Structure 1
Amino acid sequence: MRLLYISLTSSESGEVMIALNFARQLAGEDVRHHFVVPPNLAAKVAENGHPYTVLDPAVGAGARGLFDDVINQVRPDLIIVADYFTHMVFFDYHLEGEHGLDPWFIMDYGIPVLPIDIWEWENTDFSLDITAGLALPMDKRILDMPMHLRPVPTGKPTASGAGYPYLLTKETDRLSARRRAEVRAGLSVSGSDRLLVVPISNWQQPEESHPTVGRMARRVPDLIAHYLRRLPAQTRFVFVGSVPDSISALPAEQTRILPHQSAEDYSALLGACDGTLVLNPPATTLVRALLADLPGMFVTNGLPVEDEKDLERADRELGGLSPKVREWITTSMPVPRFREWPMSFHTFMEPLLSGNPYLDAVAHNEILDERAVVEGLTALLYDAPTQERLAAARATYLERIAQVPDAAEAVAEAARRFNIS
């Protein structure tokens, strides 16, 4: 079988890694792979040894001709879109406005299209809440597709509608005790230290954005930095890539800011850590930590604060705001709800998270609850009973998803549904 993967995200590599993990599970099968990616993802595909074609937004109206050539060259039996959302965004923002190229022209080739759906789209209202007062209507084309792939984690492990759950990866970032000690020594982490990985991606630091999104992008790191400063002194923090100024100002003896890592080096970093802290539930780093049987926490905001009345309501619901959080809110208002910092996605993400056993396997807290976040992270890193409880929850979840079909089974099911011989 010949598979063509279209993974068009101009910011980070999460979506193409989903596609590469899918292809990796098919090693040894009679399957050939070809990728279409933007320039920023070409190296990731090359590292994995797959042939690829680069789609540069600068090609403009020539994108259709480029795809014509790829289809004629590869002659795919199945087109896998990784993922549905970023595929739409790439064309809408980079091509459609200037060149009138609809994202779903790929269906004109008469080849089955199988989207990867990381958001459980068919259960949303197809309205994407970017931030308070700004919701964008989204394409409903996925409802006409007979099958969508839902990677687990973070997707639910049970099928629904046209959604077909499959195991995201069979690999983990676990290290041997010797290799783990080597990596930690290279980061100057001693035996009694605890290492916390806090990923902040480029897309979370937009140069241009809606004013509220931009304000949250600038202000939330200040609050996170305050929380990290309150953790025990032997806690070590690792960040990768460019970080906000408030993060750079953390105590130098506790903080390592690394350049962008190769896939191998980032895997080693995750395997060597004692925990992760992220600001969006489906974060790739949190998922990988879970699969490596390492603890992780995500923080979100479910309490919008637009005025003094909202501030007092948040104070009551959280059992009292700390002085620092109260000050932060008053200098940051309005503060929207968010699950995908610095954007909202709060309503949009509800179907994915509701009833999802993934939430039982990771820790999560309200970002405005300073005590819960600081005490939760401290316990996650240092308290043996808490670590045992979290480990038991991970074990239960990992045992449950072990029964989820893998990529080979997903391809076989797609062949059946699309009548691919």
Structure 2
Amino acid sequence: MKADRFLFLALTRAGWGETALGLRIAEELTAQGSSVSFLAHKSNSLLMADTPFAREFISDEAGMLVRAYVDSLVKDERPTAIVLSDMATTQRFCSQANVDASFLAQYGLPLLAIDTWDQATTGATMDLFLGEPQALDLGLARASRPLLPVPILHSAPRPGAYDCMPEPVRLTRRVRTHLRDNLGIGDSERLVLLCTATWQHMRYRSRHGNRMAAALPLLLAEYVSRLGPSVHLVHVGPAAFPLQERLGERYHWLPPLQSLHFEELLGSSDLLVSANISAGTNLKAIASGVPTVVVHNSHEVEELFELESRLPQPPSDALRRWLVDTLPLYRFRLWPLGWFDFLAPVLKDNPFMRAVETVELTDERAFVETCQQLLHDDTSRRSMLERQAAYVAGVRRLPRASEVVRQYLAEGTIAA
């Protein structure tokens, strides 16, 4: 029996999350005897460095040739199916290269698409920054069969939904102590991890997006400074933030790490803080029993007095100064993009929300108290770990992605 061959497209430019989803499915398929190759954006080269898959990289400059790349790979490799990792970034790459993405449905092959956001649920409009909505092209959604990764999508069983929970990180005490020693963080101190992606450091066309991208880390540093002198903030991202003035030597910046080194860091952390509800790092932390706090902002205000009437207590002098420098505010679940309304249907009644603590960005007391409890209070920490474990167990009842792929192939799924 001839082994199946799969061609994966991983065309995301500025983040590894979508490509990581595809790599996990590829690993499952190759473990079952299939062969896999990738056409990937060159920004994914470090992530894919240690993978066994055949791969070809494409740059932004060559984007207009993406159809020629795929034509050649389909001709040479004769894949059983094409898998988009993911649908939204494939559509975006093609649109920015002025290429009609519908060509992917014209090979007479099954077209499977990782639908990270479940676009049938979210709809076709993303709320970006302050009053800058972006319409989505749903053409690929109509032409493909969805692979729905859980989390962050709802864990209820349905066609396309699959277990996307990462494997947990398990470290020996020796490895944990060694890593923390290298950072200058002792066993009695606490390590708070913050991770940012390339797209969170970009220069945006929106002045509001640029302002919020620069402002949020400063406020987080202020909050972390209140957690006490034994709490360190370790930041993994493409560039450091100017946080030494507030945190001094308790701010540690590291560039993006290869998977093994990042897992060791995550497993050595006491708390993960994120400003992106959907970050893959959150999922790894949940699977690994690392308490997770996600910051969001639900307030859209232009003037300080508007926000003050909504806050649970009067702002501190530091928060007031930050607001004066930062206003107006817009709502976000993915800092600094927004997506507050876009993701609302996905997160409504979603068990995932019980596996993390969510805190309003401008509720300074809630942030500090939540982090203090998770860092120092055994009861609070144990409660969160129990909720995380219960959520993970529920997700594990879903089929694996490879099972969903095989089911689609058995149904003879051909792109329209």
TM-score range, shorter chain: over 0.9
Using the alignment, how far apart are the partners of 2:238 and 2:46 within structure 1?
19
2:79 aligned with 1:76: yes
Change (3 A) 1:248 1:76: farther
Q: Which position in structure 2 is the counterpart of 1:156?
A: 154
Which residue is equivalent to 2:291? 295
Q: Give the % identical residues.
A: 27
Kindly report which structure 2 residues correspond to 1:16-415, keeping only aligned pairs within 5 A, or say none: 16-93=19-96, 95-96=97-98, 101-145=99-143, 147-160=145-158, 164-169=160-165, 171-243=167-239, 245-315=241-311, 318-415=312-409
Question: Alpha-carbon deviations, 1:118-143, whole Å to 9, x = none?
Answer: 11210123101112211111112254
- Over 3 Å counting, the alpha-carbon distance change for 1:127 and 1:185 in structure 2 is same
Residue 90 of structure 1, CA deviation: 1.4
Cα separation, partners in 2 of 1:20 and 1:274, compared to 1, 3 Å: same
CA distance in 2, matches of 1:177, 1:165: 36
Are positions 1:416 and 2:410 aligned together? yes
Structure 2: stretches of 5+ with no match in the other structure: none
TM superposition shift of 1:350: 0.7
Q: Is the CA contact (8 Å cut-off) linking 1:122 and 1:142 kept in structure 2? A: no
Letter in 1 for 2:365: R
| TM-superposition CA deviations, 1:354-396 (whole Å, max 9, x none) | 1110110111110100000011111111111110111111121
Asked if the contact 1:305/1:314 (under 8 Å) is kept, the reply is: no
- Partner AA of 2:308 in structure 1: E
Amino acid at match of 2:10: S
Given the two structures, how large is their TM-score scaled by the length of structure 1?
0.93
Per-residue CA distance 1:137-159 (angstroms, 9 max, x = gap) = 11122542463111122121124
**CA distance 1:229–1:170, change in 2 (3 Å):** closer
Relative to structure 2, which stretch is displaced further, 32-41 or 405-414? Answer: 405-414
| Distance of 2:393 and 2:165 partners within structure 1 | 14
Q: Distance in 1 between matches of 2:30 and 2:122?
A: 34
User: What residue identity is the alignment partner of 1:88?
Assistant: Q
CA contact (8 A) 2:304 2:327 kept: no
**TM-align CA RMSD:** 1.8
Deviation, 1:205, is: 1.6
Further displaced range: 39-48 or 339-348: 39-48
Amino acid paired to 1:305? V
1:12-65, CA deviations, whole angstroms, 9 ceiling, x for partnerless residues? 211111111112223431211010101121342241110011122222443222
Q: Is the 8 A contact 1:22 1:168 kept in 2?
A: no
- State the distance in 1 between where 2:13 and 2:289 align: 30
Paired residue type of 2:43:
N
Go from structure 1 to structure 2 and tell me whether the alpha carbon gap of 1:237 and 1:245 turns closer, same or farther (over 3 Å shift): closer
What is the one-letter code of the residue matched to 1:253?
E
What letter matches 1:56 in structure 2? S
Compared CA separation, residues 418 and 321, structure 1 to 2 (3 A):
farther
Q: Which amino acid aligns with 1:50?
A: F
Q: Is the 8 A contact 2:277 2:334 kept in 1?
A: yes
Give CA-to-partner distance per residue, 1:181-235, whole Å, 9 cap, x none. Answer: 2222222221111111111222112123211111111111111111111112111
Q: 1:244 to 1:44 in 2, by over 3 A?
A: closer
C-alpha separation between the residues in 2 aligned to 1:48 and 1:137?
35
Please state how far the C-alpha of 1:308 moved relative to its aligned partner.
Answer: 4.4
Residue identity in the other structure for 1:369: D
C-alpha deviations, 1:383-411, integer Å up to 9, x for none? 11110111111121111112011122122
Contact persistence 1:227–1:374 (CA under 8 A): yes
Q: TM-score, normalised by structure 2?
A: 0.94
Instruction: State the structure with bigger RCO (CA 8 A, min sep 6), 1 or 2.
Output: 2
Structure 1 pair 228/308, CA: closer, same or farther in 2 (3 Å)?
closer
Query: What is the total number of aligned residue pairs between the two structures?
Result: 411
